Copies of this chain bind each other. A is one copy, B any other.
Amino acid sequence: MTEPNGTSNSTDNTSTARSSESNPADDEFTVTPYAVDGTVDYAKLLERFGADPLTDDQIDRFPDQPMLRRRTFYAGRDADRYLEAVESDEPHAIVTGRGPSGPMHLGHVLPLYLAKRFQQATGATVYVPLSDDEKFLAKEQSFESIGAYTRENLRDILAVGFDPERTRIVVDTADSDVIYPIAVRLAKHLTPATVDAVYGQQDTVGLQFYPAVQATHLLLPQLVAGRQPTLVPVAVDQDPHVRVCRDVAAKDALPVEKPGALLGRFLPSLDGPGKMSSSGDAPSIELTADPETVAETIRTHAYTGGRATLEEHREHGGDPAVDVPFQYLRFFFENDDERLERIAADYRSGDLLSGELKEIAIDRITGFLTAHQQRRSKLGSLEEALEPYRLTEQERRRALERAGVPSGLES
């Protein structure tokens, strides 16, 4: 950890300047419990939304996972209800979706791995809805294009390795036989004024209707398998969806509990704080990227917390709180707290250079992606691979029955 930062480049220098501006008090950073981010005031968001920060006790009771332990997921709604079901061995569910308008990148898959961990640790049922309808409506893309991304995204979701007995993957257009009638029922309680207030004015009646579809996603585990606590791990900006669903569920006489939420911070964009985006300027690391591309992308584009010169860095140390490679390790890719603390300490002391820190992140991320890609490459036919994860006929019928929707035309 004492080698000079051979790959330090202009991006690093630029980022250092930005780092100093947005985080004048570097030494306030600790790995846990709270990360600092210059652009989002996560505490204020909670106040605005009326959600609760997770307590130490709650964190202890959840399955151990770096995103919870380090409070990337830092707040919740009705988290205790979920934990009580876990502890008394009662059914409980996770819903974590995907909008298939492009290739999936690291930021998209982390909640899925969280859900997988919950499933393995406590037997949680996991629902993964894909909102191809919403993406078609919201984007300048054809249905053909959205369909192609849907199929690619499904491969990535399947590669996570969920238990097919306890996981259902739903695609809005392909499963509209069950999604649409339930959404209609919920839409009876959803006014244009509410949608406008929560999401802003929508351009089309399709997007106005979509929150009813989203609410359907969040209630689906309970409609299929009966009343149970359902937790929705989402980036904090997705919380409005959860609140709309809770409101609608409260107005309806459906036999369901209001879904709870786990609210998360954004995985920072490679070139600095903010939400990782696959459509913005910052390059994203796609799940199908090969190791060379990952290494090259991180070496070239990752925003670091290093100093402008080697001498300065050795003397004053770097700032892990704004260093994106470090943040990637902290979010997910370095599970060992002691090792992570040591890396942070070495970086702060100046013993570890930005380029060296990048190489550690490259190593962990490519290791993760290689395993993911190996599972992905073994899937074979998508149709066959997906089949055990699709709703069965009986499950569809039960969901419609619980929603009180005429499910068939039997007399």
Contacts and interface: CB of A to CB of B under 8 A. Distances in A.
Does more than half of chain A's interface fall in helix, strand or loop, or is it mixed?
A: helix
Interface string A373-410: 00000000111001000000000000000011111111
A1 to B, nearest CB: 45
A150 interface: yes
A205 B206 contact: no
A408 B381 CA distance: 13
Nearest to A411: B382
Interface in A135-162: 136-137, 142-144, 146-147, 150-151, 154-155
Please classify how large the interface on chain A is, using the bins under 10, 10 to 19, 20 to 34, 35 or more. 35 or more
A185 interface: yes
Contacts of A143: 181, 185, 403-406
A60 interface: no
Contact of A406 (B174, B183, B203, B407): B174
Given A137-B184, A146-B406, A185-B136, A151 B206 contact: no
A191 B203 contact: yes
A386 B411 CA distance: 11
B409 A383 contact: yes
B187 A209 contact: yes
A93 to B, nearest CB: 22
Given A150-B406, A173-B180, A409-B154, A209 B206 contact: yes
Contact of A191 (B146, B176, B204, B408): B204
Nearest to A177: B177
Contacts of A361: none
Given A137-B184, A137-B187, 12 more contacts: A132-B406, A143-B403, A143-B406, A187-B206, A188-B204, A188-B206, A191-B205, A205-B211, A208-B209, A209-B209, A381-B411, A386-B409
Interface of A: 132-133, 136-137, 142-144, 146-147, 150-151, 154-155, 171, 173-174, 176-177, 179-181, 183-185, 187-192, 195, 201-206, 208-209, 211-212, 381-383, 386, 403-411
